[in-house]
């Protein structure tokens, strides 16, 4: 199948590669030429613009940083809707505000384009091995049309409700991940300051109730001092901003989210915005003047 793919960052590149491995023809566009070149070398074909992709592809996937980027790429000059024809399907896999998904979907519907929102969880490692968790909002019939394509990139593909439900689910996911990382860092700082080897603590508790996918993924990074981004702090700040805005809009209290957001903002101010979100450990290391290391 011919698939258009717009947005070739940390997540987009491996997702395109998995589509190529599955035998699909993938036409790509990104504003950063090096990103385009990287996947063209793997067999993708470059297009000159988002509009150009829409002119030849009936299925288009976007994987972009935030709501304004999606609105520009889809609705702006030279965007998807300028080139799309009736019946085109847009799958926005970006993590954006649910209200923004609904606004973009309205514009798509007016052009005869079908849209679903399908943000992902799992970071770069799961994007690489094709085992992302994909949360989908939109018309169920459209979801069923593209479910198998999404399954090439994810191990879990779940329809969550109407348009915007995918991004609402992703916000819930990001709240849990952020608070979980903060709790892990706090607990491992406690054990470190008390003189107990963090690796032994990890081995002792990972199989119990405290165990989690987050802890399994992040503790080895923290104890090695490896904060190479699988998911950047600045992107998690964006997601938590969207969560807090949505929470305010629907009347959901998010005090833990607000606290972790302040930690992330401090890390951004320390120059750690491009580090992995496991660098929340550096917040604790700074205030405790101790490193969590094996």
Nearest one of 59, 65, 132 to 97, comparing CA atoms: 65
**170 included as an active-site residue:** yes
Contact 29, 47 (CB under 8 A): yes
Contact 81, 107 (CB under 8 A): yes
- Name the percent of the chain in helix, strand, coil, to the closest 5: 55, 15, 30
How many Cβ atoms are within 10 Å of 249's Cβ, its own excluded? 11
Contact 187, 223 (CB under 8 A): no
Contact 292, 214 (CB under 8 A): no
- The active-site residue, picked from 126, 170, 218, 282, is 170
Contact 103, 46 (CB under 8 A): no
Nearest one of 68, 173, 62 to 118, comparing CA atoms: 62
Nearest one of 76, 95, 97 to 31, comparing CA atoms: 76
Kindly state the tokens that stand for 121: 């969880």
Backbone phi, psi, residue 95, to 5°: -100, 105
> What residues act catalytically?
170
């Amino acid at each position: 199948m011919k698939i258009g793919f717009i947005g070739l960052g940390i997540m987009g590149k491996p997702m395109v590669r998995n589509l190529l491995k599955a035998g699909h023809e993938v036409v790509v566009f990104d504003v950063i030429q090096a990103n385009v070149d990287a996947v063209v070398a793997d067999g993708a074909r470059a297009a000159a613009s988002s509009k150009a992709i829409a002119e030849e592809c009936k299925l288009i996937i976007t994987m972009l940083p935030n709501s304004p980027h999606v609105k520009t790429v889809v609705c702006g000059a030279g965007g998807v809707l300028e080139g799309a024809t009736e019946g085109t399907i847009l799958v926005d896999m970006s993590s954006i505000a649910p209200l923004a998904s609904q606004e973009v979907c309205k514009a798509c519907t007016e052009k005869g384009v079908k849209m679903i929102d399908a943000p992902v969880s799992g970071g770069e490692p799961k994007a690489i091995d094709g085992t992302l968790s994909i949360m989908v909002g939109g018309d169920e019939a459209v979801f069923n049309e593209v479910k198998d394509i999404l399954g090439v990139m994810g191990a879990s593909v779940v329809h969550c409700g109407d348009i915007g439900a995918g991004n609402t689910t992703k916000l819930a996911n990001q709240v849990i991940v952020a608070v979980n990382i903060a709790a892990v860092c706090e607990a491992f700082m406690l054990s470190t300051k008390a003189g107990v080897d963090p690796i032994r603590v990890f081995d002792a508790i990972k199989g119990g109730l405290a165990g989690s996918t987050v802890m399994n993924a992040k503790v080895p990074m923290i104890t090695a001092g490896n904060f190479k981004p699988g998911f950047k702090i600045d992107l998690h700040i964006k997601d938590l901003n969207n969560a807090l805005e949505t929470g305010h809009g629907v009347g959901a209290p998010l005090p833990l989210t607000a606290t972790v957001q302040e930690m992330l903002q401090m890390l951004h101010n320390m120059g750690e915005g491009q580090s992995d979100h496991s660098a929340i450990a550096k917040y604790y290391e700074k205030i405790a003047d101790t490193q969590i290391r094996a």
